Amino acid sequence: MMTLSRRQALGLGAAAFLTGVFSGRNLVSAVESGTLTIAYNVNLPSFDPTVGPSAVNPSIQAIYRSVFDQFIGQGPDLSFQPGLLTAWGWNDDKTKVWMDVREGVTWHDGSPFTPEDVVWSLNRAADEKTGNPIQFIWSTAGNYTIDGNRITGDVLRFEPTFFKWMAFLTGYILPKAYYEKVGPEGFEKAPIGTGPYMVDAYEGNAFLRLKANENYFGGKPAFDTVVFKFVPDGTSRVAELESGASDITLEIPYEEFDRLKGTDGFAGVATPISDIGMIFLNNIEVMLDKNVRLAAHHAIDKKAIVDRLLRGYGVPIDTLEAPEYDAYDPSIVVGFDPEKAKSLLAASGFSTDKPAKFKIQTTRGFKPKDYEMIQAIVGMWRKVGIEAEIEVYEIAKHYELRAADQLAPAAFYNWGNAIGDPTTSTGFAMFGPSPHSVWNTDDLDGMIGPLWGEKDEEKRIAGWKAVSKYIAEEGYVIPLLQYAQPLLYKATLKVTPNVSGALQPTLVSPA
């Protein structure tokens, strides 16, 4: 892989690199040039999709899925489908797992992909020393053996979502021989996978350029070159499209989406996705007071936020289970009730004259109207007796602080759950020992703990619904809404929306 400085990259010229940066809208189209340029909303901190905070960032999965393949694939409708595994499952008593490995696949360096790569990747993911954030899932199976293209392993602790995770965060297969040869640092400099695109050039905080893998087992992609331009600011992403510098973008302000989607040369789609907006509460400072937590929740008019700020693109929710998730329970309602919020605060000695005070952290431009949403919520809080100070940070900082359990008492986040299981929403967000949780109390952990290995699916889902009800009653988190994702693109393109929210180049083609 070639690494260039920003000056060198720009020196190559717009046609070769940052397509159309300095020109107007009358550009060569992506169809004619063979290059698709994506104005992307987040940077890429790491190329390894299996370790560190980046591995559990849903917004980066579109890039990872372009370069690497997962054990199990997932369609844009979230349906599971063959990936590098063609078949998989448990034996009858669920004491064994088995997997069939796809034949005839090659890594980007031309070397053959083998079952040994699968076993090595699984063992590496299960090893605490590796740094896989989902290690506690991957470690539930082991002792793998290979017979031809069939892999068999022991169930060390039954995990009902084991195979679901193979299509989700960290569920990627890396090249055993190459990785062991170059090591972690060498892999970061020159990563290879089996995916539809190969890394061609990269500059942190600026862009990633990919070239098509002509030997891809799923067929050569539609575009010879794909450029991800890292543009964290939503307004700047709109400008990328209007100037013609980029061909497609995502997560732009909804009023801009509505303004442009029907104009000449542009098309757009806004599809409900598996992401939800939420406010993490950390069990520190005033958040130890149940009255404050519940008051903060009752004071928020979620419908007004969706209708006014998001122009109707969203669904208000009161639990961490969106309507499409397996454990969604519509009977759990917290409700907008500012008078109740005032009463709760008064019971703890707070009022508009003597407000409860804490900090709330948020991104700005990572999701449409994220900062404005928190501004509105802070205004709603002020009316009932809560004074919150807003701190803006980048999404990478959120992951860093969350992993270290150092988030502020309140922190906005969008939670992606592309497999719709309650463990991957309520479970990981709220279970104290989880590296993704900042709420740590014995009462909740005691309820969640037994559900991780529950083999009776009906009992498992009912248990998670009970957990969601308890969380709502105690005010341990503030769910806000289910998102709709706006995609804006040139009319010369055909785009298949992805319910997971991952804008994968393989879902874009010439119209």
pTM above 0.85, yes or no: no
Buried (b) or exposed (e) across 102-132, using 16+ Cβ within 10 A? beebebbeeeebbbebbbbbbbbbbeeeebb
Contact of 65 with 195, CB cutoff 8 Å: yes
pLDDT at residue 16, as a whole number: 38
Residues near 73 by beta carbon (within 8 Å), at least 6 away in sequence: 80, 81, 82, 83, 167
pLDDT along the chain (511 residues), means of 10: 36 37 46 89 95 90 98 93 97 95 98 98 97 93 98 96 95 98 97 98 95 96 97 94 96 92 92 93 98 98 96 95 91 97 98 98 90 98 98 93 95 92 94 93 97 90 98 98 94 95 96 91
Buried (b) or exposed (e) across 48-82, using 16+ Cβ within 10 A? bbbbbbbbbbbbbbbbbbbbbbbbbbbeeebeeee
Q: Amino acid identity, residue 402?
A: R
Contact of 502 with 62, CB cutoff 8 Å: yes
Longest Cα pair distance anywhere in the chain, in angstroms?
Answer: 73
Residue linked to tokens 């790491």? 46
Pairing status of strand 141-147 against strand 96-101? unpaired
Give the number of other CB atoms < 10 A from CB of residue 15. Answer: 13
Q: Which domains, ranges and CATH numbers included, belong to the chain?
A: 6-47+180-271+485-510 (3.40.190.10), 69-177 (3.90.76.10), 272-484 (3.10.105.10)
pLDDT at residue 31, as a whole number: 63
Q: Amino acid identity, residue 221?
A: P
Instruction: Return the axis-axis angle of helices 338-347 and 370-384, rounded to nearest 10°.
Output: 60
Concatenate the DSSP letters of all residues of 49-109 into one string.
Answer: TTSSGGGG-GGGHHHHHHHS-BSEEE-TTS-EEESSEEEEEE-TTSSEEEEEEPSS-B-TT
Contact of 118 with 101, CB cutoff 8 Å: yes
Backbone phi, psi, residue 137, to 5° = -90, -50
pLDDT at residue 28, as a whole number: 55
pLDDT at residue 262, as a whole number: 81
- Over its C-alpha atoms, the chain yields an Rg (Å, rounded) of 23
